Chain A
Amino acid sequence: MQKHADGHARDSALSRFDPRVKLVCIFALVVLISTFTDRNALVLALIFTIVLMLLSRVSMTHLLRGLLMALPFIAFASLTMLLTSGAETALAMGLRVSTSVLLLLLLVYTTPFMDLLWTMRWFKMPSLLSDMIMFTYRFIFVMLDEAERMRMARRSRGFQGGRSLLDREAFKVLSNTIGMIFIRSYRRADRVYMALLSRGYDGKVRTLSAFRVRLRDAGLGLAFVIIGGFSLSQQMGWYVWW
Chain B
Amino acid sequence: MVVISLRDVSFEYPGHIQALENISIELKEGERIALIGPNGAGKSTLLHLMAALDFAKQGDVYIAGKKVERRAAAEARKKVGFLFQDPDDQVFMPSVYEDVAFGPLNMGLAEEEVRERVDKALEAVGATHLSKRVPQNLSLGEKKRVAMAGLLSMSPPVLLLDEPTANLDPQGRRDLVNVLSGLEQSMVIATHDLTVAFELADRAIVLKRKVLFDGTFRDLMKRPDVLKEANLELPSFSRLMVMYKQHTNGDFEPPLTVEEAFEVLKANLR
Contact = CB atoms under 8 A, between A and B. Distances in A.
Interface of A: 2-3, 6, 112-114, 134-135, 137-139, 141-142, 188, 191-192, 194-202, 205-209
Q: Which of B84, B92, B151, B154 has the most CB of A within 10 A?
A: B92
Contact of A194 (B48, B95, B115): B48
B134 A2 contact: yes
A142 B136 contact: yes
B179 interface: no
A206 B103 CA distance: 9
B105 A198 contact: no
Contacts of A194: 48, 53, 84, 89
Interface in B97-114: 97-98, 101-103, 105-107, 111, 114
Contacts of A6: 134
Interface string B82-97: 1010101110111101
Contacts of B48: 194
B77 A188 contact: no
A114 B98 CA distance: 11
B246 interface: no
Contacts of A206: 102, 105-106
B137 interface: yes
Interface in B40-86: 48, 51, 53, 73-74, 77-78, 80-82, 84, 86
List of 6 A-B pairs having minimum Cβ-Cβ separation, nearest first: A200-B106, A114-B94, A206-B105, A191-B89, A199-B103, A195-B90
Contacts of B255: none
Contacts of A3: 134, 136-137
A197 B55 CA distance: 14
Given A194-B48, A200-B78, A201-B106, A208 B101 contact: yes
A27 B251 CA distance: 82
A2 B138 CA distance: 11
Interface of B: 48, 51, 53, 73-74, 77-78, 80-82, 84, 86, 88-90, 92-95, 97-98, 101-103, 105-107, 111, 114-115, 134-137, 150-151, 154
A89 B30 CA distance: 78
A199 B154 contact: yes
A197 B115 CA distance: 21
Nearest to B48: A194
Contacts of A201: 106
A109 B210 CA distance: 56
A207 B105 contact: yes
B89 A208 contact: no
Q: Which of A142, A192, A198 has the most CB of B within 10 A?
A: A198
A202 B101 contact: no
8 contacts: A112-B94, A139-B92, A188-B89, A197-B73, A199-B103, A200-B106, A206-B102, A207-B105
A200 B92 contact: no
Contacts of A209: 111
B106 A202 contact: yes
A138 B77 contact: no
B98 A207 contact: yes
A138 B86 CA distance: 15
B237 to A, nearest CB: 35
Contacts of A188: 88-89
A191 B84 contact: yes
Nearest to B90: A195
Q: Which of B77, B102, B114 has the most CB of A within 10 A?
A: B102
Contacts of A114: 94-95
Contact of B136 (A138, A197, A205): A138
A201 B104 CA distance: 11
Contacts of A196: 92
Given A2-B136, A138-B94, A200 B89 contact: no
A196 B88 CA distance: 12
A192 B111 contact: no
A194 B86 CA distance: 12
B51 to A, nearest CB: 6
Given A138-B135, A138-B136, A191-B89, 14 more contacts: A3-B137, A113-B94, A138-B94, A139-B92, A142-B88, A188-B89, A194-B84, A195-B84, A196-B92, A200-B77, A200-B107, A206-B106, A208-B111, A208-B115
Given A135-B92, A188-B89, A191-B86, A198 B106 contact: no
Contact of B77 (A137, A141, A192, A198): A198
Contacts of A205: 102
